[in-house]
Chains A and B, each alone.
Chain A
Amino acid sequence: MDALLHQIFSGIASGGIYAGLALALVMIYQSTGHINFAQGEMAMFSTYIAWELIDYGTPYWGAFFLTIVFAFAAGVAIERLVIRPFHNLPVIALIIVFIGLLVVVNSTASWIFGTTLKTFPSPFPSEPLWNNHYISNHELGSIGVVLIIVAILFVFFRYTTLGLAMRAVAENPISSRLVGIRVSWMLALGWGLAAAIGAVSGMLVAPILYLDSSMMGGVLIYSLAGAILGGLDNPWGAAVGGFIIGIMENVLGAYVIGTQLKFSVALIVIVVVLLLRPAGLFGRTVVTRV
């Protein structure tokens, strides 16, 4: 029983990480209707920036917020420079551009920063709370940060004019333009926010997995599975989906299929959800008129 509890708690902890990146994916999906396959790599690159800043002697929280600003700017720039020219092309072209982006960011990172593993500091104290042996402070802190992001996103999309404008653009770009929303900037903003959220999740992952150019590869797969499970158009759903995937990965990995086949959990979840309930657990079913 104790072992099972352990697995569940570490599942919740890794679920927090998946939830973070899943939120970034949902962010782009909500504002543009695309799934950004390069999201994990962009997060990894931002984490390297944070590592460099800390290495130069910047205090942790200073580096944290500077990195978020950097990631936001980079996200906006990528949207304007790389993605914008393709916005009229079919989905295939965009997917290939995303893959190209993934490859470029990944290899640039290992080119610039090398391939050795780097340790990344955690901002949370290392003594576990109440001397429990189930969950570390870093894991608790990560979960807290993710929940805060979800709350901010919820408030942003639900109660602010800007959030409403972004949702409108995702829903119907032409009508949004007619009522005076600057559609192209809303899309860029969506990319910027997603990159910023991704950077946060990268900085939360790095103390656990060690910083490395392939750090986010596995995380991206699980996050995608989480986002699909929870519903790609619902931040709460994606966060919950991320946690469920984390728990499933750990419990099934320990007791059912063995740690060697962990990725197959993600594959099975993705295929089953897309087949049985493509909108996810908490997503909206979209009806298309033809």
Chain B
Amino acid sequence: MAEQVKTSTTSTVAGQPLSSVPLVKSATAQIQAVPLPRRLAGGRAWGIGAIVVIGALLPFALQNFYIFQLTLAMVYAIALIGLNMLVGYNGQVSLGHGALYAIGAYIAAILMNSYDWPYWLSVLPAGVVCLVFGYFFGLPALRLSGHYLALASLALAVTTPQVLKHKALEQWTGGFSGIVLSKPEVPFGLPINQDQWIYFFVYAIMLVLFLGAYNLLRGRIGRAMIAIRDQPIAAEAMGINSAIIKTSTFGVSAFYTGVAGALSAIVVQFVSPDSYDFFLSITLLVGIAVGGFATISGAIYGALFILLVPNFAGELSKSAPWAIYGVLLILVMYFLPTGFAGFVRMIGQRLSAMFTR
């Protein structure tokens, strides 16, 4: 950790010395980012490059069912990075991101179903609608903190499925029964099957969004978000416009979650009000807690976790996945406050320390 601080103080961004970034942990803020080095070390860049290449080759090595599962994991990863921006980096707890995911999924599904938009064109509008919605939900959220924000967003999560079922919207949403969509065709006569094509479609979007998140969170705005989380008053005193940063973070976070929702509608080809209940919001929160608050790689670990654990635990009992989720959530908060990403990083640092000595 000391090494990382050293590397980061040498560079400046936008004329602002980085030493002013509150990397020093306050006594109360124990769960927070393990700060990343400013520039990727050579080995890390190679590692990420290798993972990207393996990710592109995987669909040729796996059966269709596993391709589908991995595609879903990537969709979750996009939602998790969005939620983590808000909760992990900015310190605003949302129990309502399941609602945003639902809105994204329904916007995309309605555009495809009622207005005959092609699937690839419906993703962006879904994200933009969520961005606007998130921004406006972020306005009252400015006056709420901690428990109160969690409460308000909890109410949002509970209300959304009821709204989706409502009669007035039934001609678009399909009411209780939801909307069934058709599976996207492979374009340009490519020699791959539909599942592989959907995988690549989601994969490309995920890479773009992760790159965007990386640049946003590692840059000036990301540091402002962290500063507001750790020392709101000091951040304001340093000239950070806390209101704009907080509402925009809510908006961007909602955009990511909305895009993920839209992609989920394309991947699963079905939306219904009951797939987006309060427990979806909890699932997303579990994902970032297990993956690691305020980490980017944590989104991948978290997504694999929320996808795989119910599969394994479901064999034990029907209600077991949730019991295991809950217990793991508490245990992770206690033993691994930086999540799996923090754990991996710690192991990595131990190993490199061993070899450089």
Seen from chain A, the residues whose Cβ lies within 8 Å of a Cβ on chain B are 34-35, 37, 82, 85-86, 88-93, 95-97, 99-108, 110-111, 115, 217-218, 221, 224-225, 228, 258, 260-264, 266-267, 270-271, 274-275, 278, 290
Contacts and interface: CB of A to CB of B under 8 A. Distances in A.
Nearest to B283: A103
A189 B322 CA distance: 29
A92 B166 contact: no
A225 B159 CA distance: 13
Given A37-B150, A95-B93, A278-B143, A267 B158 contact: yes
Contact of B333 (A97, A267, A275): A97
Contacts of A221: 154-155, 158
A254 to B, nearest CB: 16
Contacts of A228: 151
Given A97-B333, A99-B329, A275-B140, A225 B155 contact: yes
A101 B330 contact: yes
A110 B147 CA distance: 27
A273 B87 CA distance: 23
A262 B165 CA distance: 12
Interface string B288-304: 01000100000000000
Nearest to A259: B162
Interface stretch (B27-35, B178-186, B247-255): B27-35
A228 B293 CA distance: 29
Given A37-B150, A88-B30, A99 B95 contact: yes
Nearest to A275: B140
Pairs A-B, 8 closest by C-beta atoms: A104-B326, A103-B326, A100-B329, A107-B322, A267-B155, A91-B146, A107-B323, A107-B319
Given A37-B150, A95-B93, A88 B28 contact: yes
Interface in B64-95: 87, 91, 93, 95
Given A97-B333, A261-B166, A263-B158, A91 B93 contact: yes
Contacts of A86: 333-334
Interface of B: 27-31, 87, 91, 93, 95, 140, 143-148, 150-152, 154-156, 158-159, 162-163, 165-167, 233, 278, 282, 285, 289, 293, 317, 319-323, 325-327, 329-330, 333-334, 337
Given A35-B147, A107-B320, A100 B333 contact: yes
Given A90-B29, A91-B147, A107-B323, A261 B330 contact: no
Name the residue in B144, B154, B334 with the highest tally of chain A Cβ atoms < 10 Å from its Cβ: B154
Contact of B148 (A102, A105, A278): A278
Given A86-B334, A93-B333, A275-B143, A103 B323 contact: yes
B165 A106 contact: no
A263 B162 contact: yes
